[in-house]
Copies of this chain bind each other. A is one copy, B any other.
């Protein structure tokens, strides 16, 4: 007997095993598919690739819903094959990005906690196929996810048919880490009974309707490693500023040394900031985040952190080797939840999170752009930063003060796209310092941001704008026809610097 069949404890499903190519053949043009996968973790791998191959030959188009970004190059393959009409709610692939920015792919950039509501209510139309990576299926009919939960539960419950990819390369110790809870439909929904990051409120897997399982596909392809860079001098400095801010909160009596549950966004800067906690005086930390990156495991290993809750585990290659060979030792300190729960406003507000996310740029008044280069070109998407930023106890946004070797200032008069409004941003941080802009009027915020965060090369230019704006008056002073001129200047001259520093 094929040893792999032990993974499928519902015997009636054994005759539904098919190849990825066969499964991909069921998907017709015009369909909507829901793929498992959240920031390269636990994504369906074989069938999407087969779909891209088929699409390149046959030419057909589908709508693709996921948890968040896919790994395995699949977003790129699908985009390159021209298979994707609409893409929801997040991506981070070079080729997909380029198809989105050319207008070839319609991208809906959606708060990660909210897509499940659209699937449930039907606002997103109907999902024809859910294609979900699993460790296996228990005899009780629970699909056990792998390294992410993402939107898999809502896809499985609301899709017309299911294709399951059983991935034999994923560590079996993942079983038991998942906590699958789905809110009741609107109209009879109860409070989500989670009051601490370590609470378990759901099931160990996703209950599925066996009659909807159309096919099961084997795969042994590992998750794509995260391209995260190790912390460097600059990110260390930013982490230092952030720690300084947190120490101030402790001195003011608003936090203790165990802080509050921490959310940290995806990427190198956020990862480095967590690294800063390793050697700090803070202790018994808890994480309530969406993606658990490398440093989370360092925090757990060192005993600095006592628990981590997320929707996905996304590691760099060296950490994959280290963590997945000994995952069992984290089993009582780790939980993976649907992204609707990891990112739920109800829970984020209740737990009083400290939320740390990366900005592309922010402006004098604290508006943050997380998504659009020069206001027009999509980078990745808002992801969970809005879910967390809006509802956190403290919403922190971090960015290097400049980009493109200093030719772009990340602190501008007026952001070219707003993802987080002035009402939602508490603290901004660059390598020059932090500005705590809570309970400040716009004019006060501008003073503090100019003084603490802007790169010295741009300080005079920003001060000069602010002075002229203030002379015109208004609650939020602007020279409106110059507000976006830094971006236009960059486009025309290749730098935002209006004269040499």
Contacts and interface: CB of A to CB of B under 8 A. Distances in A.
A416 B480 contact: yes
B480 A418 contact: no
A106 B445 CA distance: 11
Contacts of A12: none
Nearest to A194: B191
Contacts of A86: 441
A88 interface: yes
A11 interface: no
Contact of A418 (B253, B421, B470): B421
| 10 tightest A-B CB contacts, nearest first | A376-B474, A186-B352, A191-B191, A106-B441, A378-B475, A418-B418, A346-B346, A481-B488, A345-B345, A377-B474
Contacts of A125: 439
Nearest to A118: B439
Label chain A's interface by main secondary structure: loop
A121 interface: yes
Contact of A350 (B100, B191, B440): B191
Interface in A105-135: 106-111, 117-118, 121-125
Contacts of A400: none
B475 A100 contact: yes
A350 B187 CA distance: 8
Interface stretch (A53-61, A67-75, A148-156, A385-393): A385-393
Contacts of A138: none
A393 B121 contact: yes
A238 to B, nearest CB: 22
Contact of A478 (B117, B376, B476): B376
B376 A480 contact: yes
Nearest to A88: B439
- In this complex, the member of A344, A444, A475, A483 whose beta carbon has the largest number of chain B beta carbons within 10 angstroms is A475
A283 interface: no
Interface in A393-434: 393, 416-424
11 contacts: A189-B195, A190-B350, A345-B349, A367-B418, A372-B476, A374-B480, A375-B478, A377-B473, A418-B418, A419-B423, A483-B484
A477 interface: yes
Interface footprint category on A: 35 or more
Interface string A189-212: 111110100000000000000000
Interface string A451-470: 00000000000000000011
B352 A346 contact: no
B186 A195 contact: no
A438 interface: yes
A101 interface: yes
A168 interface: no
A187 B483 contact: no
A3 interface: no
Given A195-B191, A440-B108, A481-B488, A476 B103 contact: no
A254 interface: yes
B473 A480 contact: no
Contacts of A484: 480-481, 483-484
A341 interface: no
A491 interface: yes
Interface in A61-83: none
Given A186-B351, A386-B390, 9 more contacts: A122-B254, A123-B439, A190-B195, A191-B193, A372-B476, A375-B474, A375-B480, A378-B475, A378-B476
A481 B485 contact: yes
Nearest to A353: B186
Given A187-B352, A351-B186, A376 B472 contact: yes
B393 A101 contact: no
Contacts of A422: 109
Nearest to A125: B439
A421 B421 contact: yes
A374 to B, nearest CB: 6
A102 interface: yes
A300 B477 CA distance: 44
A111 B423 contact: yes
